[in-house]
Amino acid sequence: MSVLTIGSAAYDSLDTPYGARDRSLGGSGVYASFAASFFTQSRLVAVVGKDWNSAYSELLSSHNVDLEGLEVRSDGDTMFWSGRYDNDVNKRETLVFQANVMTDYKPIVPDSYRDSSHVLLGNCAPDSCLALLDSIASPKLVVADTMDFYINNMRDELCALLRRIDGLILNDSEAALLTGVESSPRDAARKILEMGPRFVVVKRGEYGAFWMSGSELFLVPSYPTDNVLDPTGAGDSFAGAMMGVLAEAGELSAESIKKALLYATVVASLNIEGFSLERFQYVRREDVDERVAKFREMLVC
Ligand code: AMP
């Protein structure tokens, strides 16, 4: 089994109550493919520009992320995003977004990726996601992650994408924005199921996350870490880990879904304990398993 992730590879400038970083490694595809690689073969489709630091490719490769699908273009710069977090780290403001080489990105899928079993369409333009999907022979599971930027700016393309995927993963405010349903995240999730996907995963920050399909509802609380330094990439690492565990399990049983939600929560918590991938890069599978065991002990059943 293998997880193919398409998403951004970016430079992020970050400002949080605990410090700041300028042009550090980021991007939805980077966080998600790194998180998936704890569990299964992980492949990344992304584009970067002439200013890309090759040391970042080495970092990802050394964690077994296959970068054959990483296109390095010489005619532009890498995507740049800058964000500032409030004292309540669930609130963030985008200060700068420069798509650069991501503008009109046409993903190139290497032949060696065409047999990918699991596809994670991370945050990138919905039409790039659709183009990528056409290149994959017969994926077992296709999940898309989306964000407010694409809901606000590319709604029609996003709605077309929703009809081609198995699952959608998004946070509660995005679910309300996408559906116009503000009464509760579960009401919004039900409405999303009417838009195409078989299941939806709604992330709710400190309130955890839930998985809903026509017949199932699974809930997971957030892991109570006291060391949040930089929440960037929490959602992407959650999605990548969830797909990694589902690929490792090779089936979509209730048991494997619950395991995927537990591991996704723990991997996201490990990511946000450092800026960018500064700490995350040193996390090993044993550290993840150890924290999952601790998390299980905290749960009431
Ligand atoms: P998250 O905190 O999980 O929402 O992910 C934040 C990451 O997404 C950052 O590393 C950014 O580089 C990246 N990002 C921010 N805006 C966009 C966008 N419009 N398209 C793709 N990636 C983005």
User: Is residue 161 in contact with ligand 1, taking CB distance under 6 Å?
Assistant: no
Cα(27) to centroid(ligand 1), Å: 5
Task: Give distance in angstroms: CA of 146 to centre of ligand 1.
Answer: 10
Any ligand 1 atom below 6 A from CB of 230: no
Q: Ligand 1: which atom is nearest the Cα of residue 147?
A: 4
User: Which DSSP string do the residues of 66-102 spell out, in sequence order?
Assistant: EEEEEEE-SSSPPEEEEEEE-SSTT-EEEEEEE-GGG
Alpha-carbon span 250 to 27, nearest angstrom: 27
Could you tell me the domains of the chain? 2-298 (3.40.1190.20)
User: Which of 280, 289, 278, 287 has its CA nearest to residue 14?
Assistant: 278
Question: Which of 48, 123, 170 to mutate for ligand 1's pocket (most ligand atoms within 8 Å of CB)?
Answer: 123
Q: What is the pLDDT of residue 89?
A: 80
Residue 104: the pLDDT is: 86
Q: List the one residue out of 132, 172, 120, 166 whose CA is nearest residue 148.
A: 172
Per-residue pLDDT of the chain (301 residues; tens, 9 = 90+): 999 999 999 999 999 999 999 999 999 999 999 999 999 999 999 999 999 999 999 999 999 999 999 999 999 999 999 999 998 888 899 999 999 999 989 999 999 999 999 999 998 899 999 999 999 999 999 999 998 999 999 999 999 999 999 999 999 999 999 999 999 999 999 999 999 999 999 999 989 999 999 999 999 999 999 899 999 999 999 999 999 999 999 999 999 999 999 999 999 999 999 999 999 999 999 999 999 999 999 999 8
27 lines ligand 1 (CB under 6 A): yes
The pLDDT score that the predictor gives to residue 91 is: 86
Whole-model pTM? 0.97
Distance CA 279, CA 270 (A): 8
Find the angle CA(85)-CA(285)-CA(277) to the nearest 5 degrees: 30
Give pLDDT, residue 241. Answer: 98
User: How far apart (Å, rounded) are the C-alpha atoms in residues 134 and 26?
Assistant: 27
Residue whose CA is at the smallest distance from ligand 1 atom 16: 81
How high is the pLDDT of residue 157? 95
Residues in Cβ contact with 99 at an 8 Å cutoff, skipping those fewer than 6 apart: 79
